[in-house]
Amino acid sequence: MSDHIDGPRQIGDPAVDITDLLAFTSPENPARTVLAVNVFPTCGVDAIFSNAINHSIVVRRAKVAGIGEATKFETADPEIRFSCRFEALERGAVDRKPVQRGIFTFPDGQTLRFLAGNEKGASTPDGAFRVYAGMRSDPFILAWLIPAGLKKFQNLLFNDNVLSIVVEFDTQRVLDPGKGSLFAVIAETIPIPRPGALVGHEPPRMDWVGRPENTNMRLNNPRLTGADDIRDLWNQQTPFAIDEKFRPLFLQRMKDSLAEWDMRDGKQDWTPSALAVNASMFVDDFLLMDVAKPMTDTSHLEIERSTINGKAYQTGGGRTVDSDVIDILMTWIVNRDREFLEGGTTKATKPGTKTFPYLASPNLDLQTVVETIDVGAAPDKVWELIGQFGSNWHPLIAEIRLTGTGLGQLRTIETVDGKQIIERLEAIDNAGRFYRYTNVSGLSVANYTGMLSVKPNGVGSSVEWRAQFLPNGQATIAVKTIVSTLFKVGLDSLKSRF
């Protein structure tokens, strides 16, 4: 995941954990630039920003200081810093949820107080800056099983949400691209110092991110056996100024990791010298964007890739909401753009939007339906009846047809009232008397997973039927009632059989 949960320390407070940094031209107004940082991977629908953290996006001017095997990007002071901190919750009326406010501080010193979760965001009086902070659908796509080599998979972040901080600003006024239009961007989370607080040490940096996946895929490549986890050490480095004492360590780890990535398709596409320059480029971790050139869904890393290939870059690089950054990155580090590597999907849970705040609205919580019943028969006896994926034991089912065998087989169910439901077998354990299946069609749901299990209960058995799903096209209560009724009627019918 793009720095999602990228170090053991984030377990402390997941709200400090940066998942992604985005930089792109405003879809609403090409004269404006948007920067966004997401925190709190896989947060639930009630998640709130930490009030103990300063969230910053820092921009510095950058220049190409060398190309080809001398590739080097240099950054310069002064920094252009956007900072955002949040307050403790405010009590609303008794029947209202508490609200959270935050304060943005902009590079020109202006500050702006805003309400978290307000879809319209807030703007400074001069219109130069506009901000939003709140929960959004995670735009990230990770459709590979990274530790397994090059195994495609569904998007592992499907239906996830994150907390997003979005700032849009007047490019000309804030960045003055006439002095140079190439910029380096990072995001960081730092505890807020308080008088009398943090005695004995400076506020540590909790997390920071430049390009995606510097930690989870590159520095912590899971296929480098025996390698220490150095992600926390990396996260505590100062962006734009990696400690020279640790630089050799990071550089060697990056080389080892990139060499392993290069060979994942069985072909060596990187010469040792090219790989070394690539590693050095990645250790200088910042997201590059050229605000004078187009930033598109495919322009991510193009500045770095072209420069290492000895060519002038053509795009604005950056990273849009819909960038399929993992596929772009893997194509580059596995085969140096010889052949595009496409994961199991190229679509996030929801695409970005063309209107502010550009990240899609959050995903709903999965709904759960659980029904259980105790029967007097032994578990094996009960499982014999209901444990076959294609067995028709349910009074509301007229007919079941199976397609295929084993895992992945489909059952087409005709209900007594003429509806058709198609389900796929995902896992079965006859010894454990359990199977899991997903819904393909026939119910107004998305992301439906059902589970049927039988366990011993005294001299008899306990049968549990459980499902989780997102309502899709019908009211939640209606869908839950349909599923619950289906389960209840089925389980109740077992009483008369045993």
Partner 1 sequence: MTEAAVLDCECFQTTDGEIAITNLNSARLRSWNRFYQDPQRAGAAETVLEHEQLTAQFAGDLSALGRLEAFGEQLGRLDAFSSRTMMIQAQIASALHRFSDARHYLAQASLGGAPSADVMRVLLNVDQACGSHLEEVLDERRRIVAKSGRFEDRVALGALLADVGEFNDADEIYRQALREYRDVSPFPVAWVCFQLGMLWGELVPEPQLARAEHWYRKAVVGLPCYVRARVHLAEICSATGRAREAEATLRPALASGDPEVSWRLADVLHAEGSVGEAASHLEAARSRFEELLDKHLLAFADHGAEFYIGSGGDPSRALELAEINLKNRPTLRAFEQTYTIALGAGETDVANEVSVRATKCWGNAPAFQLSSFVQGSLETGKGAAA
| Contact residues for partner 1, defined by CB under 8 A | 9, 11-16, 40, 42-53, 88-89, 98, 100, 147, 156, 159, 191-194, 196-201, 204, 206, 365-366, 368, 427, 429, 431-434, 436, 447, 449, 451, 453, 455, 466, 468
Interatomic CA distance for residues 419 and 323, integer angstroms = 40
CB of 343 to partner 1, least distance (A): 16
The continuous run of DSSP H or E covering 478 comes out as helix 476-497
Full DSSP string of 122-156: EE-TTSSEEEEEEEEE------EEGGGSSEE-S-T
Is residue 437 classed as helix, strand or coil in its secondary structure? strand
Judged by CB, which is closer to partner 1: 45, or 478?
45
CB of 365 to partner 1, least distance (A): 7
Q: Are 426 and 330 in contact (CB under 8 A)?
A: no
CB of 87 to partner 1, least distance (A): 9
CB of 148 to partner 1, least distance (A): 11
Task: Please name the amino acid found at residue 474.
Answer: Q
Token pair 């140096």: residue: 336
Distance between start and end Cα atoms, the chain: 48
CB of 353 to partner 1, least distance (A): 23
Q: How many residues does the chain have?
A: 498
Judged by CB, which is closer to partner 1: 43, or 62?
43
CB of 430 to partner 1, least distance (A): 12
Judged by CB, which is closer to partner 1: 94, or 431?
431
CB of 349 to partner 1, least distance (A): 13
Judged by CB, which is closer to partner 1: 232, or 269?
232
Number of alpha carbons in the 13 Å side-chain half-sphere of residue 448: 23
Judged by CB, which is closer to partner 1: 162, or 330?
162
Judged by CB, which is closer to partner 1: 198, or 478?
198
Interatomic CA distance for residues 164 and 49, integer angstroms = 9
- Strand-pairing partners, residue 194, are none
Interatomic CA distance for residues 363 and 402, integer angstroms = 33
Is residue 275 classed as helix, strand or coil in its secondary structure? helix
CB of 30 to partner 1, least distance (A): 37
Q: Are 273 and 69 in contact (CB under 8 A)?
A: yes
Q: Which of 301, 304, 323, 302 has the alpha carbon at shortest distance from 314?
A: 302
CB of 460 to partner 1, least distance (A): 16
Phi, psi of 116 (to 5 degrees): -65, 140
Hey, CA dihedral for 137, 140, 144, 149, is it positive or negative?
negative
Interatomic CA distance for residues 64 and 423, integer angstroms = 54
CB of 359 to partner 1, least distance (A): 18
Judged by CB, which is closer to partner 1: 72, or 466?
466
Interatomic CA distance for residues 471 and 185, integer angstroms = 39
CB of 436 to partner 1, least distance (A): 8
Number of alpha carbons in the 13 Å side-chain half-sphere of residue 461: 24
Judge if the upstream peptide bond of residue 248 is cis by omega within 30 degrees of 0.
no
Q: Are 418 and 412 in contact (CB under 8 A)?
A: no
Judged by CB, which is closer to partner 1: 308, or 369?
369
Interatomic CA distance for residues 18 and 196, integer angstroms = 27
Judged by CB, which is closer to partner 1: 309, or 438?
438
Token pair 């047809």: residue: 401
Judged by CB, which is closer to partner 1: 28, or 87?
87
Judged by CB, which is closer to partner 1: 236, or 444?
236
